Amino acid sequence: MFQLLQQTWPWYVAGVLIGLIVPALLLLGNKHFGISANLRHACAACFPAGIKFFKYDWKKESWNFFFVGGILAGAIITALFLKNPDPVVVHPYLLKELASYGITDHSALLPKELFSWSSLFTVRGMIMLVGGGFLVGFGARYAGGCTSGHAIMGLSDLQWPSLVATVMFMVGGFAMANFILPFILHL
């Protein structure tokens, strides 16, 4: 049993559990699944700067901070007790492509060559971590939600604007991974 928990969980187990978060939050207190709103609440709580978009009672949304606090706690627990000791299995084509950019580490879920403090202070790391984060935050709010709010909650409620957003998430991702990222990784 414990070994089963240590291994990587298959997609159907993860998919069902994540799907069940939608009714869990609705039943526990009429809350709609969404994570990127936390970034907005953080702005509203810390530096609203008189901007209308950040002037609202963020304390009413504090459930969402507890929710991401839970994500953080769950991650810490997993890293401490349920960690998969084996290297991450990566598709051989991807491994080969990444090796050509000098990225060979796949001992953990994030390659050390990109996700480290020393990488942060390179042009490549700066673009990927600081630039990437900025695009995620800006884009999610501009779109009115992220993968959880649109792709999972929105599609669950059969909202067609969420389908538009989900398709565009994928278009952006495909464009970046296949056409732009190779140039950035070469830096």
If one asks whether residue 21 binds another protein (CB under 8 A), the answer comes out as: yes
**Contact set for another protein, span 41-60 (CB under 8 A):** 42-43, 47, 49, 51-57, 60
CA distance 23 to 158: 15
Distance CA 86, CA 60 (A): 43
How many residues touch another protein under the rule CB under 8 A: the total is 136
Pick the binder of another protein from 2, 16, 123, 183 (CB under 8 A).
Answer: 16
DSSP line for 69-108? HHHHHHHHHHHHHS---SPPP--HHHHHHHHTTT----SS
In angstroms, the first-to-last Cα distance of the chain is 45
For position 101 contacting another protein by CB under 8 A, the verdict is no
CB of 4 to another protein, least distance (A): 10
Q: Which member of 86, 96, 173, 186 binds another protein (CB under 8 A)? A: 173
Nearer to another protein, 1 or 28 (CB): 28
Residue 67 and residue 93 in contact, taking contact as beta carbons nearer than 8 Å: no
64 binds another protein (CB under 8 A): yes
d(CA 47, CA 37): 15
Q: Is 182 in the site for another protein (CB under 8 A)?
A: no
113 is a contact residue toward another protein (CB under 8 A): no
Task: Check: CB of residue 51 under 8 Å from CB of residue 40.
Answer: no
187 binds another protein, rule: CB under 8 A:
no
- In the list 1, 3, 12, 183, the residue contacting another protein (rule: CB under 8 A) is 12
Report the Cα 8 to chain-centroid distance in Å: 18
Can residue 99 be called a binding residue for another protein (CB under 8 A)? no
Minimum CB distance to another protein, residue 86 (Å): 12
